[in-house]
Every structure is written in structure tokens, then in C-alpha cells.
Amino acid sequence: MPRYKLVIEYDGTPYCGWQSQDHAPSVQGALTDAIASFCGMRVTVNGAGRTDAGVHALQQVAHIDLVRDWDVDTVRDAINAHLRPAPIAVLAAARVADGFDARFSAIRRCYLYRIANRRPDLTLDRDRAWRAPRPLDVAAMHAAAQRLLGKHDFTTFRAAECQASSPIKTLERLDVLRVGEDEIAVHAAARSFLHHQVRSMVGSLVLVGDGKWHEGDLAAALAARDRVACGPVAPPHGLYLAAVEY
């Protein structure tokens, strides 16, 4: 069966997350239905990452197996035609080797977290960024973030319901940058992340930016290996799966 790689963009606001559930709309479920309408068969849409409810994707990656060798542009356009008006779009489709696996072949996942650092409420970016109304010290946040780089036990920044076999992960990038006057972007990259790891790190970094924590407090939270030591978890609507690298 020909295998196709799909690059997918979506607004996660109306969905329970990536993974299909029986009684709630999901991104995976919407894609499965659209593909079935296009080619007459229900296939498994295997994603590179299981984003939570309200989390968005700029470039989620998935693979599917179809019984027919379709033109890749046809695959992309036909799926999109059956997705409308859902806020999901297949940006690209490509034929890949049978051994390609969207999840297990990935060598790096890149996330973006958007913080709207402004006093006024959000309008255009509502449900697409986290509003922090007090001015944040981006330089302090970035310096503290570097204390989390490398291979560590990230239990402090791990959700209680996380199903990963080990809390040890290697964080390759955690940069905090100001974008224009009112936005802060947090870029994180690693082969894989624990459940809620990025949102937990961002919430703690905001405490640093607000002057409530210092760089040493973040390092101490990591060393504690205790969920209680974590700052507040940032809300899901500011988080984007930005890219998956192979």
C-alpha cells in the first residue's frame, strides 16, 4: 500500500486534541473522515505528536497508507475539499518509503509558545496567544531558560497523567525572544517532550519575567524533580507544534 506523508496546519480551538475520542471532535477524527470521503476507505492517520485540546499546529506531520497510488497534489486537494469548513488544512502530501513513520522516524520536534505581553484584551489573537498584562523581562527569561538545556530529569515539568516511560529528556533549544513591541515567542526543540512539558516550562519562565522568580529558582525547580515545584502551567491556546524534523 502506498504510504503518504502529510504536513498539516490546524487551529486546535474546537477540538479535544489530536487523538480521536468517542464523544468529542478531534483533529485526527476529522482527517480520518475526510480521507474516507475522498477514497472510500477508513485509514489510520498516524501523527508525529498528540497535541492537547486547544493546541494548534503550524506543521504537524502524519502518515497514511492508501490502496491506490494517487498523485500527491490530488491527495492534498481532495482531503482539503472534504475538510472544509473545518479549521484544518493539508499543506503538502508526499510519497514516502514504507518504513517512514511520522512519529518514530522524527529526530526533532519544534514548538512555539506565543505570549501577548500587553495590557489590552486580545481580539484577533484570542485563543491563539496567552495574554500577560504586566511587562515581562525577556532577557531574564531567556537567561533562565538556558539552565534547562541538556539532558535532565524533567519530572517537575511533567503532567501527572504523563504516560512516558521515563522523565529524562534532552532539551536542545529553549529561546525566549521579543517579537515587535507586544509579543514574546518561546521556541523549544527536542526529540520528544513529556506531556505538558513546554507549557510547564513557559509558565515558570513567566514567573521569572515577572520578577517573582530568579534564574536560580528555575534551576532549583528543575533539580527538585517534584511537580509541586513547578510554576503555573501556561494555557494550551498559546502553544503551536511548529515543525517536525526527520
pLDDT surpasses 90 at 22:
no
The answer to whether domain 3-96 and domain 108-245 are alike in fold is yes
Selecting among 11, 33, 52, 77, the annotated active-site residue is: 52
pLDDT band for 161, please (50, 70, 90 cuts). confident
* Burial call 208-222: b when 16+ CB within 10 Å, e when fewer: bbbeebeeebbeebb
> What are the pLDDT digits (tens) for 172-231?
999 999 999 999 999 999 999 999 999 999 999 999 999 999 999 999 999 999 999 999
As given in the structure block, the three cell numbers for residue 66 are 492508501
Which residues, listed in sequence order, are joined to residue 65 by a DSSP beta bridge? 3
Give the three-class secondary structure for 2: coil
pTM score, whole prediction = 0.96
As given in the structure block, the three cell numbers for residue 154 are 524533567
String of DSSP letters for 117-144? --SSPPSTTTTTSEE--S---HHHHHHH
Listed by start position, the domains of the chain span 3-96, 108-245
CATH number belonging to domain 3-96: 3.30.70.580
Helix 197-209 and helix 215-224, axial crossing angle in degrees, nearest 10: 150
CB atoms within 10 A of CB 126: 12
As given in the structure block, the three cell numbers for residue 145 are 531558560
Spell out the CATH class of 108-245.
Answer: alpha beta
> What are the pLDDT digits (tens) for 218-242?
999 999 999 999 999 999 999 999 9
Residue written as grid cell 516511560: 165
Question: In angstroms, what CA-CA distances link 117 with 97, 144, 211?
Answer: 44, 18, 15
Phi, then psi, of 13 in degrees rounded to 5: -55, -45
Count of all residues that appear for the chain in the document: 246
- Strands 88-96 and 168-179, how do they pair? unpaired
Query: For residue 160, what pLDDT is reported?
Result: 86
- Assess whether the previous peptide bond of 236 is cis (omega < 30° from 0): no
Known catalytic membership, residue 210:
no
> What are the pLDDT digits (tens) for 43-90?
999 999 999 999 999 999 999 999 999 999 999 999 999 999 999 999
Nearest Cα residue to 171 out of 141, 200, 192:
192
